[in-house]
Structure formats: structure tokens, C-alpha cells
Amino acid sequence: MPKVEFVTVDVFTAERFTGNPLAVITDTRGLTTEQMQQIATEFGYSESTFVLPPEDPANSAHVRIFTPTLEVPFAGHPNVGTAYVLGQEANLFGKPVGDSLRFEEKAGLVEVELKREAGKVAAASIRAPRSLEIGETVAAELVARCVAIDTKNVRIDRHPPVFASVGLGFVLAELDGLDALGRALPDLAAFREAVARHPGDGLGFSVFLYVRDPSRPDHIRARMFAPLDDVPEDPATGSASGALGAYLVASMPEADIRTNLTIEQGVEMGRRSIIELDVIKQQGKVTDVRISGRSVFVMRGSVEC
């Protein structure tokens, strides 16, 4: 019976029991895909990661990411948290660990920069593996029903709800204020209707709601709901934040711009998270999206499979 070691970390926070929890199984050689899915389901976190040796020795590791129900090609907080965990090690699959890592994932290569304080890894910054992809729009009325708010609370003056991705797709919808954001609750029947109408890439229907702070244009409050993936609400969603940052910067009139955004998420869950974004647009096209955050260790143990 194989036995694998795991650690859990809280991601996009420096304080335990806030941020987004993540299980990292640090060496999963010998596990099947089915066993990985079973372990992810057992943890019940929005995602768990499974680390394998890289297929190309030029890279650092092969990382697989599972929600409680399925494997996904990319996600933000699993990469930030996994990089934080692996960055504490002196060696990874026989190679010394420096300040840069490169993960092989279904969405492509994920480049990672480790940030050290007093010689220890305190945070990680990842580069989104794909360019911004903008998909179909979604009716404001449907989004409103998915999260049990009034259609009038969904702002369509700046953009309609729309699918966007830098590696994993989400429906981005701006709301008219924190009151509506605080009242949002997932309606499973409406989500099932939505995914039937918008099957997309077959990875479900996830809604990322956000509110801009008029006094601080670079600060955004957000919530993410994916009940069809057994994630009623996610405390921090780096991949959705990256997609939102890229989408907003792409819509700016400047042809060349570099901007920083801060996304605050998980407040309503009592798990406040802070996600930092650095987005670059050159010659009218978003060319680089970096997602950064801190992490902190919580638990260690082993799993018998």
C-alpha cells in the first residue's frame, strides 16, 4: 500500500487559517490518476496538487492540479502554494532549488519566481501560462440568478458578463457595490442551467464577481463560485484574478501600459486573501500576467493509498 507525504498551506495570506487552503503531495510517483482524484476529494479543498518529476529535465517539476471532482489545466493558488512548499527544499528531484522554478502543467509551462525574506521563501510569483482568451458573453440575468441577486446589480455599462481565461476560464461579472457582492449565494439549479447553455471547455461554469473601489482604482473586491465543482465558494482564485486583470488592462485605451492590481477575496467567508497582479500590455496586446502572494504552512502528514 503506497504512502505519500503531504503538507497543507494557506495561500495568499501570511496568517494561518485565512487565505485559501491547499494540499501539496510533494512526491506522487507511483500514484494513479484515480488515486490522485480520491486524495483531492478526501481533502475537499478547492484544489490539491500532485508533484512529479518533470518530463523535460530542463524544467523543475510536473504539477497536476485536482479539484474535488476533476483535474484542471491551471490554477493560481495551487501554483503559488506549491512553489512556496517546494522552494523550502534544498533539492527537487536531484536538482538544487534556486529562486526560479518552472512547472509543467496541462495548460503549458508555468514560470515561478520565489521571493525570499531573511533567506527563507515568503512568497511566490507565477506567470500565467497562456495569453488572454476572451470567450462568449453571458446574459446578466443568468449570472444574477446563479448568485441569487437582482439583475440590476450586474453592471453592463463597462462590459457584459464574459468568459475570460489565462489558463482556466471564468465568467467575469462586475457588480454595482459591496452590498450586492455580500448578498451573493450560489444557486445550484441556475448553475446547472448555465452550464447547459454555455458548456464551454467542459470544465464547468465558474463565476467571478467583482467590485471596483472608486477611491482606489487599483483595488478590487471579489468572490468566486463554482458549485458544480464542489466549490460553493473559493477564498482566493489566482487564475480568475489573472484573467480579470488581463481583461481590464486589455480594455484600457493605452497601447503600452504596465499596471499593478490588488484583489481582495474571501472576506465574506472569514478567510481574507490578498492577490497581487502585475499586468503588461505592449502594442495593444496583454503580453504578461503575473500573480503573486504569500503563503504559510499549516499541517504535515501522510496519506495511505
* Domain boundaries along the sequence of the chain: 3-125+294-304, 133-293
pLDDT in tens, 206-240: 999 999 999 998 999 999 999 998 999 999 999 99
The answer on pLDDT for 152 being more than 90 is yes
For residue 205, how far is the Cα from the chain centroid?
15
Report d(CA 155, CA 142) in Å as an integer: 13
CA-nearest of 67, 62, 7 to 29 is 62
pLDDT in tens, 248-289: 999 999 999 999 999 999 999 999 999 999 999 999 999 999
Adjacent-strand bridge partners of 285? 282
Report d(CA 125, CA 83) in Å as an integer: 9
Report d(CA 251, CA 240) in Å as an integer: 17
Same fold, 3-125+294-304 and 133-293: yes
Cα 182 to Cα 32, 121, 243, 262: the distances in Å are 40, 34, 22, 19
pLDDT at 199: 87
Beta-carbon contacts of 204 under 8 Å, excluding residues fewer than 6 positions away, are: 70, 195, 226, 228, 229
Beta-carbon contacts of 169 under 8 Å, excluding residues fewer than 6 positions away, are: 133, 135, 163, 200, 201, 203, 206, 243
Asked if 109 and 153 count as a contact pair (C-beta separation under 8 A), the reply is no
- Among the options 5, 34, 42, 47, which is catalytic? 47
pLDDT at 233: 97
The DSSP string of 259-274 is EEEEEEE-GGGT--EE
pLDDT in tens, 239-252: 999 999 999 999 99
Nearest 10 degrees: Cα torsion 140, 142, 148, 154: 0
CA-nearest of 158, 146, 106 to 129 is 106
Report d(CA 158, CA 276) in Å as an integer: 23
**Is 47 labeled as catalytic in the residue annotation?**
yes
CATH domain 3-125+294-304 topology: Diaminopimelate Epimerase; Chain A, domain 1 (3.10.310)
Asked if 283 and 256 count as a contact pair (C-beta separation under 8 A), the reply is yes
What confidence tier does 2 reach under pLDDT thresholds 50, 70, 90? Answer: confident
pLDDT at 204: 77
Q: Where do the DSSP E strands lie in 97-236?
A: 100-105, 108-117, 120-127, 133-137, 162-165, 169-174, 207-213, 216-226, 231-234
Across all residues in the chain, what is the average pLDDT? 96
CATH domain 133-293 topology: Diaminopimelate Epimerase; Chain A, domain 1 (3.10.310)
DSSP 107: T
